[in-house]
Amino acid sequence: MKNSRIDIDRAVELLRDARHIAVFTHENPDGDAIGSAAGMTAALNASGRKAELFLTAIPPESYRRFVGVAYRTELAPEELIGFDLILQLDTATEKRIAAPYGVKLDDTLPLLAVDHHPDNTEYGRWNLVAESAATSVIALEIAEKLVGTIPVEAATLFLLGIVTDSGGFRFDNTDPACLRAAAGLIELNADYRGIVDAVFFTRSLDRLKFEAELLSDCLDLRCGGKLAIVTIPPALIAKYHIDMSSTEGLVDVFRSIKGVETVAMLYYRNVGLLKVSLRARNPLRPVGPIARSFGGGGHEMAAGCLIENGDPIAVAKNITDLFEGNHK
């Protein structure tokens, strides 16, 4: 009964048979989490089912106005029995599930997990894990089979998920399927302009000035310009009120410098805890090995590590040595 791998038709069947569905996603929800979860909630409601969205955090400001459906943050244990299905979206591992306050996760829950992360651990009773640029692409396919016409608020939400997870169709995961899904959603009157404007064309002046100072004063190009080391002073983070937990795209600014092959961005996450974000541009010179040498991990092109009592100058020196060793 537990941990079965299912295909999309079986997922549709499970949702079709359900009357009252709780929709969960992952912690610190990003655009695809919000998009797939709120979008499926809207689509399920349009199909005549009762679906409720649960989030444990307020959606990021830039996405908030697209949510369009009500969400709850708490769920009493005795209420849980009233749901005949929990739809868990965009969540790779059990640990990352954003369970509403009051819910204890255990194997007895009728959990249907739908996700696109290749490292998904298939923790649900039913698991649909498909290769896709975004969970929202899979959610859209399910929704299309459940309802005749996708409601416009769901279309905008699925499109938000596709646009954010593909980096506006610039990341390596961009594929024909997500481009075609986006085309279809625009035809359903999804608010593409609003999404592009909110996600790519609305940046805080503080963030822009922060980036400008990093480029002017904190960028150290080594090894003939192939290695970019960016050490962010705590004072700069404070000056511009930067929340370092939401700085996606920052390290890519440095990776896009002509000639740069490897980027290492260093900053203190907490006092004494040095965070190193690593990015590679050339698949032949991955950064995974550098991260692992510091006890970290990640992908080969994007990795990172945390170093207790790390000294940025010494760490930068180590990274330079590893980079040069790599180029011999």
184/293 Cα distance (integer angstroms)? 45
Q: How far apart are the first and last CA of the chain?
A: 54
DSSP line for 21-69: EEEE-BSS--HHHHHHHHHHHHHHHHTT-EEEEE-SSPPPHHHHTT--S
Q: How many CB atoms lie within 10 A of CB 229?
A: 24
Is 111 in a helix, a strand, or coil?
Answer: strand
Q: Which is nearer to a second copy, 105 or 186 (CB)?
A: 186
67/143 Cα distance (integer angstroms)? 17
Selected from 172, 220, 311, 324, the binder of a second copy by CB under 8 A is 172
CB of 121 to a second copy, least distance (A): 29
**For residue 43, how far is the Cα from the chain centroid?**
22
CB of 169 to a second copy, least distance (A): 5
**202 contacts a second copy (rule: CB under 8 A):** yes
Burial level of 93, CB count in 10 A (0-12/13-18/19+)? Answer: middle
Q: Point out which span in 95-103, 130-138, 247-255, 290-298 binds a second copy (CB under 8 A).
A: 247-255
CB of 179 to a second copy, least distance (A): 4
**203 contacts a second copy (rule: CB under 8 A):** yes
**223 contacts a second copy (rule: CB under 8 A):** no
Residues in region 248-307 near a second copy by CB under 8 A: 252-253, 255-259, 281
**239 contacts a second copy (rule: CB under 8 A):** no
Residue ranges in contact with a second copy by CB under 8 A: 168-170, 172, 174-177, 179-180, 182-184, 186-187, 192-193, 196-197, 200-205, 208-209, 211-213, 215-216, 221, 225, 252-253, 255-259, 281
